[in-house]
């Protein structure tokens, strides 16, 4: 089958966007998973952290389904939703829209550039739950906020929440970031285990200057990525719960792919997070895929020029992190 796609990224978390609104593709569930595993392979001519299927919606301006590089589907993707927001808004000539996701119809909007000439969108991250059954996390507690999980670590404390995809977050110091402990814990909870039967995204967070944090994430279904939008949003919320940052204030979230901003909103113990950051296109391509034989070829590939400007944002962020000793 012939497929057109755009490759883009949100803070270095890169995705293949497949437009099912304009094109008359009709993928079965197994084809969606198979395409993700085949096209996201970093040893192939494409490679990405996941695929974003952009689909018609009966109730919103568009619909996003996100598949990780291992072919598993996730309920939400913050960096990916900014790319889908851009694609749908530009297609329909909108500055704001509603995008249907697995668990909620979410508000998205075009924003002022977060960095000169870097196309920027804001997306709503919601719903948020601290109920452990919503991850799921199998421990006999109503929630897990800044507590130990002895099976994973004797010294680290963790918070667990679903936004709505599952996140396990630990606020750490530089030495823990530089040790191999995050990889160890992440691989343990993303291979068959009793604690997290569906796996979990694992983030280590370091508080920097006031209103600034650094987040490093091992993503369920992918591995370490440059950034994870839902993880950066969930981490921002956890830093507010721990008194390191404040709700309704901009939090600069640094990551290995650059910088985004989060604003945590609280309404009677209900939280949502606004995630603001780049939505950068890298190239568009036409490919021929033979899923039976698990092969594909790139028929054409045309680069965009936006990445050149994005790399200036990324260099600034990396300079800041170097000064912070990261
Ligand atoms: N790996 C995640 C999905 C992608 C989320 C991430 N790329 C983001 O930007 O939020 C999961 O399985 O829950």
Predicted confidence at residue 5, as pLDDT, reads: 98
Please tell me the distance from the alpha carbon of residue 55 to that of residue 65, in angstroms, as a whole number. Answer: 8
List pLDDT tens digits, range 300-309: 999 999 999 9
Please tell me the distance from the alpha carbon of residue 216 to that of residue 32, in angstroms, as a whole number. Answer: 28
Instruction: Give the global pTM.
Output: 0.98
Sequence-distant (6+) residues with CB within 8 A of 63 are 54, 55, 56, 57, 99, 100, 101
> Using CA positions, which residue lies closest to atom 4 of ligand 1?
77
| Ligand 1 pocket: which of 199, 219, 231 to mutate (most atoms within 8 A of CB) | 219
List pLDDT tens digits, range 95-121: 999 999 999 999 999 999 999 999 999
Residue 138 alpha carbon to ligand 1 centre in Å: 21
Provide mean pLDDT across the span 251-257: 98
| Ligand 1 pocket: which of 74, 231, 274 to mutate (most atoms within 8 A of CB) | 74
Please tell me the distance from the alpha carbon of residue 300 to that of residue 298, in angstroms, as a whole number. Answer: 6
Q: What is the set of active-site residues?
A: 77, 228
Residue 48 alpha carbon to ligand 1 centre in Å: 12
Closest ligand 1 atom to 231 CA: 10
Pocket of ligand 1 (CB under 6 A): 13, 49-50, 66, 68, 74, 77-80, 165, 201, 219-222, 228-230
Q: Determine if residue 93 is left, alpha or beta; phi over 0 gives left, psi from -120 to 50 gives alpha, anything else beta.
A: left
Residue 142 alpha carbon to ligand 1 centre in Å: 24
Per-residue pLDDT band at 14 (split at 50, 70, 90): very high
List pLDDT tens digits, range 166-225: 999 999 999 999 999 999 999 999 999 999 999 999 999 999 999 999 999 999 999 999
Residue 264 alpha carbon to ligand 1 centre in Å: 19
List pLDDT tens digits, range 124-153: 999 999 999 999 999 999 999 999 999 999
Assess whether pLDDT exceeds 90 at residue 321.
yes
> Using CA positions, which residue lies closest to atom 5 of ligand 1?
77
Residue 219 alpha carbon to ligand 1 centre in Å: 6
Sequence-distant (6+) residues with CB within 8 A of 192 are none
């Amino acid at each position: 089958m012939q497929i057109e796609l755009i490759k883009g990224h949100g803070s270095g978390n890169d995705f293949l966007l497949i437009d099912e609104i304009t094109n008359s593709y009709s993928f079965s569930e197994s084809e969606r998973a198979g395409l993700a595993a085949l096209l996201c392979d970093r040893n192939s001519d494409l490679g990405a952290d996941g695929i974003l299927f952009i689909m018609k919606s009966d109730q919103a301006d568009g619909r996003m389904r996100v598949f990780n590089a291992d072919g598993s589907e996730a309920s939400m993707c913050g960096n990916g939703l900014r790319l889908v927001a851009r694609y749908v808004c530009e297609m329909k000539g909108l500055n704001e829209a509603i995008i249907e996701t697995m668990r909620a119809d979410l508000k998205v909007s075009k924003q002022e550039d977060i960095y000169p000439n870097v196309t920027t969108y804001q997306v709503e991250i919601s719903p948020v739950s601290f109920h452990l059954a919503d991850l799921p996390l199998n421990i006999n507690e109503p929630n897990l906020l800044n507590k130990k999980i002895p099976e994973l670590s004797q010294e680290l404390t963790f918070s667990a929440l679903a936004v709505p995809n599952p996140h396990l977050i630990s606020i750490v110091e530089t030495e823990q970031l530089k040790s191999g402990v995050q990889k160890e814990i992440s691989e343990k909870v993303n291979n068959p285990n009793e604690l997290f039967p569906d796996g979990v995204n694992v983030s280590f967070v370091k508080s920097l200057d006031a209103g600034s944090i650094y987040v490093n994430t091992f993503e369920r279904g992918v591995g370490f990525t440059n950034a994870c939008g839902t993880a950066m949003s969930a981490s921002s919320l956890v830093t507010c719960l721990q008194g390191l940052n404040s709700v309704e204030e901009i939090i600069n979230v640094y990551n290995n792919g650059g910088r985004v901003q989060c604003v945590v909103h609280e309404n009677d113990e209900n939280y949502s997070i606004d995630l603001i950051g780049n939505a950068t296109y890298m190239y568009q391509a036409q490919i021929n895929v033979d899923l039976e034989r698990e092969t594909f070829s790139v028929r054409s590939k045309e680069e965009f020029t936006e990445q050149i400007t994005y790399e200036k944002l990324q260099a600034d962020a990396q300079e800041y992190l170097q000064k912070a000793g990261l």
